[in-house]
Amino acid sequence: MSSYQRFFANFIARTYYPVTVSFKSVPLKYSNPLFSVSHKINSSIFTDNNCESGYINFDIATNKYHKSRFVTSNKLNTPESFIKFMVDKPKEYTTFQLVKKDNNSDNNVEFNTNGLIPLRYLDMFNDFSLHKFSYVKPTELDIKVYERTLYEEKIAFINNEFLYDIYQYAKYLSEKENIMKIEVSKAPNYPLDNDFINKYLEKSFRMEETEFVINKNITERIWKSGDGDFSATSTKIFFNRSKNYESLCNVGYGKLFSSSGGINFSYVSQLPWFKLKQKMGDYQQYYDISGCETYWSNSDDIGITEFIIFSEILAKEGALYNMTFEN
């Protein structure tokens, strides 16, 4: 197994490991620029497994590569979707038949992703939609076994030069094809509650915050990601609350100690795409974006996917912001 083949097999295994997902069968719809999910209830429709309205549909960028006038997708191309298509060549669309679970008193159904849906998309759905998917995360042994299968069945037959070209275009998709700008005008409307503030606001060592300053920042919803401790109170609360999101590996954003201000995105070092970049020789010393209220997706090669998630968390927390595509 060559180094590139090993790197790509590991990347796909960690990103697309097939899992069985269960959820309560109720009408659901969720969408963002990366993917959308929909499931309808229709009692007149029955499938062979006797499941009402027996399908759930994911729209993701890999569907773009299927040549069908019946399937269209306007979702953003990402390194994950491009590498998946070029290396694994999936032939199925991302519509899955549902099966009723045993002892189905709660109307629960399940489906298997068949290695077609990034695990992170399931976490994003749980973080940002009104519904929940349940699935068991793979162990390291699970991933190693699947990685070996991917290598033996597909990746072993791809030469290094082609894999390197695939990687270079995936980088372009992440960092340059679409450039986003996010401007935050108001911080989330956090409560003036002592228990809440004590839970999410850490003590600042470089700048003492009086009760008056804290109350003013929260009441006026001031947003500023300044030089570390010099960030606005509500912004620092936002950083600490972001640790609650599975999409951010439960690490979340952090203060950036820089005179130009910004946000620390160090959690990305745990993600398969950034691990692949490092293995391919693109070592990043820092994972952050610059700015106090305005941020760009091509700042320090953080990439479009992380910006979409940043915008989703801003919305979920209740911040006021504007997101635009600049190219």
User: Nearest 5°: phi and psi at 301?
Assistant: 60, 35
Contact 4, 163 (CB under 8 A): yes
Q: pTM of the prediction?
A: 0.91
Domain spans in the chain, listed from the N-terminal domain onward: 3-175, 180-325
Per the DSSP assignment, residues forming a β-bridge with 21 are 111
pLDDT bracket for residue 51 (50, 70, 90):
very low
Contact 178, 325 (CB under 8 A): yes
Contact 85, 62 (CB under 8 A): yes
User: Nearest 5°: phi and psi at 60?
Assistant: -135, 170
Q: What is the pLDDT of residues 117-146, one digit of tens each?
A: 999 999 999 999 999 999 999 999 999 999
Is 50 exceeded by the pLDDT of residue 303?
yes
Q: Which helix (H) or strand (E) is 289 found in, with range?
A: strand 288-290
Do you know the residue count of the chain?
Answer: 327
In this structure, what DSSP letter does residue 205 have? S
DSSP SS3 for 173 = helix
Q: Are strands 99-100 and 294-296 parallel, antiparallel or unpaired?
A: unpaired
For the chain, count helices (H), then strands (E): 10, 13
Long-range contact set of residues 200-203: C-beta below 8 Å, sequence gap at least 24 = 200/237, 200/240, 200/241, 201/233, 201/236, 201/237, 201/240, 202/236, 202/240
DSSP SS3 for 32 = coil
Q: What is the pLDDT of residues 232-285, one digit of tens each?
A: 999 999 999 999 999 999 999 999 999 889 999 999 999 999 999 999 998 888
Is 60 exceeded by the pLDDT of residue 53?
no
Is 60 exceeded by the pLDDT of residue 45?
no
Q: What is the pLDDT of residue 10?
A: 96
Is 70 exceeded by the pLDDT of residue 11?
yes
Contact 170, 82 (CB under 8 A): yes
Structure tokens at 211: 């009760």
In this structure, what DSSP letter does residue 52 have? B
Q: What is the pLDDT of residues 156-209, one digit of tens each?
A: 999 999 999 999 999 999 888 888 999 999 999 999 999 999 999 987 777 778
- What is the spatial distance between Cα 228 and Cα 28, in angstroms, rounded to a whole number? 40
Q: Which residues contact 193 (CB under 8 A, 6 or more apart)?
A: none
